[in-house]
Structure 1
Amino acid sequence: MARASALLTHWGTRLGPLFAALCLPILLGACIQVQLWGVPRPFQETVVYGESGPKILLLEIDGVIVEQAPEPGILGPSEDNLVSRIREQLDRARDDDEVRAVLLRINSPGGTATASDLVYSEILRFKRERKVPVVAQLMGLATSGGYYVAMAADLVIAHPTTVTGSIGVRFVSVSLAGLLEKLGIEDQTLTAGQHKDAGSPLRRLTPEERAHLQSVLDDLHTRFEQVVVAGRPKLPPGGLERVADGSIFSAPQALKLGLVDADAD
């Protein structure tokens, strides 16, 4: 808590009293919260403490970050997908001059590369247009795409039990070719395009296909690294190489490596 409080004082001096107020929900409990729930729930504003006035926009980055909407549940239609929900929240807040800061509350294992980049880019655009500070509060899990989104923030604060990192990209594929051979089942897939079925579980990858797929992953990983460098410009020399290998880190480890600015201990 002492480390986080000292950091709050430093950033509050640089960016003004409202930035300090933004951090208070993390360290002391929320003051003013603006929340837009997904469809079909309406726009909501909640005064948690004190008088109504300048607002903090709370963005919940919760669960897997994907572009598709969840399937309807037994209780009726589900909320809109995360990307659309965040975009709608920011669009509404963009026209509200009382919104003076943004708090990202992240509890996510990650998601698709594109969905994570879309959410990150939307938050970054809002921050630049409105010139407001952004704080990321990392909860239980803020890995992969969850950490990617946090890089849009000016200040990243982890919970003492946060697990974060996992700066990497993966392509999951299995081959059932050996099993199919034992069962006497032959793959007769037709394709137009030599590598159209690369990664199919019905056959093994060729060395050429494996190299090509690896190059695609490498490009996506490079983009992730660029986002981390932009969001953590004070990483120590060699710091990126130490953290961008896909490893996960505890909050104390992340603080030592420069992935977060403080833990709220």
Structure 2
Amino acid sequence: MLYAFGAGEVPISMSGSPADDDSYAHTIRSHGLATQALARLKPGEVIGVRGPFGCGWPLEAAAGREILIIAGGLGLAPLRPLVYSLLGGCQRAARVRLFYGARRPQELLYRRELERWESEHGKGNLELTVTVDQADSGWRGRVGVITQPLEAAHIDGQCTVAFLCGPEVMMRFCIQTLLGKGVPESAIYLSMERNMKCATGLCGHCQWGPNFVCKDGPVFRYGSVQSWFNLRAL
């Protein structure tokens, strides 16, 4: 939880490398009062920090498995530490594939880093697929929703673990595709976003069915929240 003094507090995922002991990295979209105030801060100014709270990505689930990382838009930010961990050898996976989609090219996060990942790891332990819904004149990559390359990919469902973060409608369709390819519900993990306040499960702002996203999440195993996730607008 990041606090801009005089403006308010907002939940922001960590998006830096877990191996970095000297600093914490956050990726912030300047949208509301608190995030706009955070964006105006200059080096050396003070912010409030509480946490981290909740549950992170279960890295141990990646051991020896084929890993699918599926991100939509800003959803790549909380998945970025997972990519760092897997590329850094913190947990040995048999294969890592990253599917990343955004509405437009200018909305892609970490474009230079994506290019570096592709050049350094593209023929090794990371396969990268990037797509945009709407291309501009300078875009030379894939065009279409992220489910298209996911549907076309060969996936050994029984040997695969999937991690997802992005708009809920995107995650819903991607999960349907994964289930259709034989990936078990217990091997799919997703990160939810709700309006958090206290971050300790007391205020009830982020209650989602019987769960509190701040305390029980934000990362959930799909099999344990399927009945709630499939209720739209909940």
Structure with higher Rg: it is 1
TM-score range, shorter chain: 0.3 to 0.5
TM-score, reference length from structure 1: 0.31
